[in-house]
């Protein structure tokens, strides 16, 4: 932890400045705008891998003898010995009963990108006290209760909209500010400007200056109050996987091998996780469809 006498970064103007901050030097900041295409390109270069975009899965049908699974798409069928269905918040489209079991909802976030308020490099990410209440690992600490009481007394409206005031810096210096949260079964087309105003108000307070908004956008992720992870086996050869707490980018490199290791493979494929796609699709198209044999 850093305190006001030992600021986390000299970039903060005075006054006001944060009175304490978590300094996490080992944290890694991944820019999704670059990371996701880079990952898809890397996977496409692996032996036997085939990445398709624009391909919508419409049904997943295990063979009666359990030896294979057919994934039906808008561009033809894909057959594999094992199938992992990882569609984020859209689990309820093909597996409504699984979604209902954990009361899966769509969490809608509003975010802002603002012009660089400082010249300095702010480091990987900044979390505020509101983040302590949002993330399970921090929310479970005794200090979180005091933080909540303090915010409840000073700015209860932030708790009402489940604000997580945090920021990351883009390579050219602009800041991505997040975020506010609304849980709903299907996302409304309307964003609430009041939420964006509160987000901006708090960020201005943090930097002690006006901020120029460059972009506004929304994000959606899966949410469940009862679990952070959905890993279901509707059939021994099929896994339905979704991170239901808005932290999916973080544990994904542990979750993915865990799910794959938990699948029992037919004798021919045992000891090997080499994808062997058997496809009858009519177009080399586009969106993650994974059928591993
Ligand atoms: C604004 C925002 C900020 C976030 N910040 C963080 C953060 O700082 N740290 C962190 O760890 N996590 C963060 N998250 C959460 C994280 O992004 C998600 O948990 C993660 O993306 C979930 O990954 P996924 O692959 O399971 O699902 P998604 O990333 O939602 O991917 C699912 C894909 O499946 C596709 N799909 C859906 N239905 C079908 C179908 N029928 N056929 C074919 N394709 C289909 C979708 O188009 C989508 O491309 C954030 C999320 C949002 C929205």
Percent of the chain residues topping a pLDDT of 70: 83
Tell me how far the alpha carbon of residue 2 lies from the centroid of ligand 1, in angstroms. Answer: 32
Tell me how far the alpha carbon of residue 1 lies from the centroid of ligand 1, in angstroms. Answer: 31
Number of residues that this document lists for the chain: 293
Tell me how far the alpha carbon of residue 252 lies from the centroid of ligand 1, in angstroms. Answer: 11
| Residue 234 predicted with pLDDT over 70 | yes
Dmax over Cα atoms in the chain, in whole Å? 70
Residue 242 in contact with ligand 1 by CB distance below 6 A: yes
pLDDT score, position 66: 85
- Average pLDDT of the residues of the chain: 85
pLDDT score, position 15: 47
Helix (H) or strand (E) holding 170: none
Q: Which two tokens stand for residue 82?
A: 């094992």
Residue 88 in contact with ligand 1 by CB distance below 6 A: yes
Backbone torsions φ then ψ of 163, nearest 5 degrees: -75, 135
CB 220 within 8 A of CB 106: yes
Residue 243 in contact with ligand 1 by CB distance below 6 A: yes
Tens of pLDDT along 11-41? 665 545 566 767 777 778 888 889 999 999 9
| Residue 281 predicted with pLDDT over 90 | no
Q: Mean pLDDT across the stretch 132-160?
A: 92
Q: Which CATH number fits domain 2-30+105-223: 1.10.3470, 3.30.9, 3.30.420, 2.60.120?
A: 3.30.9
pLDDT score, position 29: 81
Residue 219 in contact with ligand 1 by CB distance below 6 A: yes
pLDDT score, position 235: 94
- From 62-76, 208-222, 275-289, the region with the lowest mean pLDDT: 275-289
180 vs 132: CA distance, rounded Å: 14
Atom of ligand 1 nearest to the CA of 107: 53
pLDDT score, position 3: 54
Burial 6-40 (b: 16+ CB within 10 A, else e): ebbbebbeeeebbeebbeeeeeeeeeeeeeeeeeb
Between 213 and 275, residue with greater pLDDT? 213
What pTM value is reported for the model?
Answer: 0.84
Atom of ligand 1 nearest to the CA of 217: 1
pLDDT score, position 9: 56
- Count of Cβ atoms closer than 10 Å to residue 160 Cβ: 9
Between 266 and 126, residue with greater pLDDT? 126
Q: Mean pLDDT across the stretch 229-254?
A: 93
Band of residue 273 on the pLDDT scale cut at 50, 70, 90: very low
Residue 124 in contact with ligand 1 by CB distance below 6 A: no
Which long-range contacts (C-beta less than 8 Å, at least 24 apart) are formed by 22-28?
22/127, 24/124, 24/125, 25/123, 27/124, 27/125, 28/124
Band of residue 282 on the pLDDT scale cut at 50, 70, 90: very low
Q: Mean pLDDT across the stretch 265-276?
A: 50
Atom of ligand 1 nearest to the CA of 242: 26
Tell me how far the alpha carbon of residue 4 lies from the centroid of ligand 1, in angstroms. Answer: 36
Tell me how far the alpha carbon of residue 179 lies from the centroid of ligand 1, in angstroms. Answer: 16
Q: Mean pLDDT across the stretch 162-184?
A: 92
Q: Mean pLDDT across the stretch 266-290?
A: 41
Can you tell me which residue has the tokens 């177009």?
283
205 vs 176: CA distance, rounded Å: 16
Atom of ligand 1 nearest to the CA of 249: 11
pLDDT score, position 136: 81
Instruction: For a ligand 1 pocket test, name from 60, 90, 252 the mutation site with the most ligand atoms within 8 angstroms of its C-beta.
Output: 90
225 vs 229: CA distance, rounded Å: 11
Atom of ligand 1 nearest to the CA of 57: 42
Residue nearest to atom 32 of ligand 1 (CA): 87
Q: Mean pLDDT across the stretch 87-96?
A: 97
CATH 3.30.9 in the chain, residue ranges: 2-30+105-223
Q: Which two tokens stand for residue 128?
A: 């505020």
């Amino acid at each position: 932890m850093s305190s006001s006498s030992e600021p986390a970064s000299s970039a903060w103007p005075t006054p006001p400045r944060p009175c304490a901050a978590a300094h996490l030097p080992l944290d890694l900041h991944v820019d999704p705008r670059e990371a996701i295409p880079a990952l898809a390109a890397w996977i496409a270069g692996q032996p036997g891998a085939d990445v398709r975009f624009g391909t919508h899965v419409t049904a997943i049908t295990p063979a009666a003898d359990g030896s294979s699974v057919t994934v039906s798409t808008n561009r033809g069928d894909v057959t594999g010995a094992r199938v992992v269905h990882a569609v984020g918040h859209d689990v309820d489209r093909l597996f409504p009963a699984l979604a209902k079991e954990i009361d899966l909802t769509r969490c809608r976030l509003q975010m802002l990108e603002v012009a660089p308020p400082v010249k300095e490099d702010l480091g990987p990410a900044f979390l505020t006290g509101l983040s302590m209440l949002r993330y399970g690992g921090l929310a479970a600490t005794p200090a979180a209760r005091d933080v909540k009481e303090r915010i409840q007394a000073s700015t209860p409206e932030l708790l009402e909209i489940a604000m997580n005031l945090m920021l990351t810096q883009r390579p050219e210096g602009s800041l991505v500010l997040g975020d506010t949260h609304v849980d709903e079964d299907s996302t409304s087309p309307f964003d609430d400007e009041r939420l964006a105003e509160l987000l901006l108000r708090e960020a201005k307070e943090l930097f002690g200056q006006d901020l120029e908004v460059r972009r506004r956008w929304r994000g959606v992720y899966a949410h469940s109050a009862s679990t952070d992870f959905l890993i279901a086996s509707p059939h021994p050869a099929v896994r339905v996987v979704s991170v239901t707490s808005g932290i999916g980018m973080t544990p994904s490199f542990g979750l993915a091998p865990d799910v794959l290791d938990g699948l029992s493979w037919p004798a021919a494929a045992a000891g090997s996780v080499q994808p062997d796609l058997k496809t009858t699709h009519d177009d080399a198209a586009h969106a993650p469809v994974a059928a591993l044999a």
